[in-house]
Amino acid sequence: MLEIEGLTKRYGATLALDDCTFSVAPKRLIGLLGPNGAGKTTLMRCLLGLVVPDGGTIRWSGGPLGEDRGRNFGYMPEERGLYPTMRVDEQVRYFAMLSGMAPAAAGRATADVVRRVGAGDLSGRRVEELSHGNQQRIQLAVALVHNPEILVLDEPFAGLDPLGVDQFGALLLDLAADGTTVLFSSHQLDLVQDLCQDIVTINHGRVVLAGELEQLQRATARRRITVVFAAAARRNWTAALDGVTVEKAEDRHVRLSLDAGGDLDRVLHAARTAGPVLRFDYQPPSLEELFREAVGR
């Protein structure tokens, strides 16, 4: 378990992290969300020990993180930190040795990790010859070569094409299934919704929404409702209903959102008196809706 409590970081007058508290269960994929300037990078840098917080504690497996936290963490920064003209295997081995491995062990770990990220056939290629998606794999190999328990990635999906997103997402899921705790920042909320079990959202340095995504969705009484009528329905059939906002209304297709004060059964009843209902679907809010609500836009 990674436990963050009361984490605070100030840059002059800017409170970049304001009393952040949340915890992350092991072997999970966690999405770190927040608008630009929210404090995500500062939070990741505090975890990695690159920034010293002004207050708060970070604990892993019940104990405080020490000076040797580099062994617990793997980090993939947003800007690529690879040497363009170096060969893939030389590069990964170089970082393995920087992390303290002896040459022979570094060679073995390199071969293993390059295979693990699906780049075995790229070993002899120079980094500058690779596609963006393949460079991301090598960057991931570098972050993983010392076999860390926690992997932190800053915007790993930025700039990847849809196929690259699928492949990289599958890699992260495999890592989590194998026991690594994976925390990554992203602005792609649909992607986070598909991949992550847990999310942490920060806004102006404060944690505004954190926990298991399904639980967060279940915990809100709000629902999105789609009604499809077999023939044109009576107009304005929703007018007398409390807590309902009409998002789209055509003769046969109506989309509504129901807030916490609304009553789903009453909406269904009203729909059935307005016309022949062919379909009546309701869903919890998407991550994007929860996010907009949490950051107040």
What is the contact surface with ligand ADP in residues (CB under 6 A)? Answer: 11, 14, 16, 34, 36-42
Helices (H), the chain: 40-48, 88-98, 103-116, 132-144, 162-177, 189-195, 213-219, 264-274, 287-294
Rounded Cα–Cα distance for residues 43 and 34 (Å): 11
CB-based contact 131:72 (threshold 8 Å): no
Q: Which is nearer to ligand ADP, 206 or 252 (CB)?
A: 206
Compare residues 11 and 158 and give the one whose CB is closer to ligand ADP: 11
Helix, strand, coil in percent for the chain, rounding step 5: 35, 30, 35
CB of 81 to ligand ADP, least distance (A): 17
> Taking the complex as a whole, how short is the minimal distance between the CB of residue 154 and ligand ADP, in angstroms?
8
Rounded Cα distance, 126 and 91, in Å: 9
**Greatest C-alpha distance within the chain:** 77
Cβ 189 to ligand ADP shortest distance, Å? 15
Phi–psi pair at 228, nearest 5 degrees: -120, 125
Residue 11 C-beta: closest distance to ligand ADP, Å: 3
Nearer to ligand ADP, 202 or 270 (CB): 202
CB contact at 8 A, 94 and 110 = no
Nearer to ligand ADP, 32 or 96 (CB): 32
Q: Write phi, then psi, for 245 (nearest 5 degrees).
A: -115, 130
Shortest spacing between CB 265 and ligand ADP, in angstroms: 42
When the beta carbons of 192 and 258 are compared against ligand ADP, the nearer one is 192
Q: How far is the CB of 201 from ligand ADP (least distance, A)?
A: 11
Q: Whose Cβ is closer to ligand ADP: residue 14's or residue 273's?
A: 14
